[in-house]
Amino acid sequence: MLQAASTYLDWNNSIDILNKAYDAGLFALIIGPKGTGKTSLVREFAAKKSANLESVNFSLRTRESHLVGAKTLTDGSIGFDEGILIRSMREGSLLYLDEINAAEADVLLRLDEALDDRRQIVLKESTGEMIKANEKWFVVATINPLTHVGTKELPPQILSRFPIRIRLDYPPEETELQIVKRYASSGHDEKLIQGIKLANTLRQAAAVEELYYSPSLRETIAFAKLLDSGMNAREAAVIVFGNVYSQWGNVEYQKVNDIITSMFGS
């Protein structure tokens, strides 16, 4: 069968781990900072499995009704509009729970019920029917590390529902170069490496709280695209990597500007 080339580069063998988790019926949790390819990995996996992907992007405002469903009233008769969790259980689709640690406790409690080894949930909102998941049903969740603003710790009982844990961090330089080149033409290897080195310097500074912000693969990809557009490397670095720090004031901005100058000249 002919398959379109994928832009996703499986650099740490995550697809294989997900395949094994799937075959064993074990749910998976992907842990990593923003922009390290968590969502892309799940999309790639779904495509490879030809699975129907259903996603929930959790926030403090995600309600139980979104997951389980809500009563409806049409022409005087009461119905029930099934939520994404119930739908995916019935259909046996791949359920992607993005940033699950942003969810409120009551929402997690309902998930907890469905993710239990029995893989079933009682529709107490509607008929009280017991929904049993299709055997193909598979769940992958992501969490950002706790240093990430606004993230809460995931309760241990929910964590234990995801015994397969995949760490997705920033890739090694050479790998990041390969990834970035999938989004831009490849004429600028040396400059791209410089941009990736800069990103890594800023990431390391952010990790020890010397800077407020850590650039992701989105930034290194954007840097590559600006080089493609004909912009010179220093200007692209200032625009993509430098300017953002001015929101924390001039001192923060100057710190990064000095790093850029030391790497790209003035």
Ligand X SMILES: Nc1ncnc2c1ncn2[C@@H]1O[C@H](COP(=O)(O)OP(=O)(O)OP(=O)(O)O)[C@@H](O)[C@H]1O
Binding site for ligand X (CB under 6 A): 7-9, 11, 32, 34-40, 144, 179, 182, 217-218, 221
For residues 25 and 19, what is the distance between their CA atoms, to the nearest angstrom?
10
How far, in Å, CA of 125 to CA of 111, rounded? Answer: 14
55 makes contact with Mg ion (CB under 5 A): no
Query: Binding partner of residue 8 among Mg ion, ligand X, none, CB under 5 to 8 Å per kind?
Result: ligand X
- Chain residue whose CB lies nearest ligand X: 37
Burial track 13-49 (b if 16+ CB lie within 10 A, e otherwise)? ebeebbeebbeeeebbbbbbbebbbbebbbbbbbeeb
What number of CA atoms fall less than 13 Å from residue 239's CA on the CB side? 13
Report the nearest approach of ligand X to the CB of residue 215 (Å): 11
Q: Which is nearer to ligand X, 68 or 179 (CB)?
A: 179
Least separation in angstroms between CB 4 and ligand X = 14
Phi, psi of 2 (to 5 degrees): -85, 130
68 binds, among Mg ion, ligand X, none (CB under 5 to 8 A by kind): none
Q: Which residue has the tokens 């409690």?
A: 109
If contact means CB under 5 to 8 A according to the sort of partner, which of Mg ion, ligand X, none does residue 221 touch? ligand X
Ranges within 155-174 binding Mg ion (CB under 5 A): none
Size of the residue set binding Mg ion (CB under 5 A): 2
In the complex, minimum distance from the CB of residue 176 to ligand X, in angstroms, rounded to a whole number: 9
List of residues 6+ apart from 161 with CB closer than 8 A: 27, 112, 115, 116
CB of 37 to Mg ion, least distance (A): 8
Residue 39 found at the interface with Mg ion (CB under 5 A): yes
Decide which of Mg ion, ligand X, none touches 136; Cβ closer than 5 to 8 Å per partner kind.
none
CA distance 95 to 80: 21
C-alpha–C-alpha distance, residues 122 and 129, integer Å? 6
**Residue 134 is a binding residue for Mg ion (CB under 5 A):** no
By CB under 5 A, name the binding residues for Mg ion.
38-39
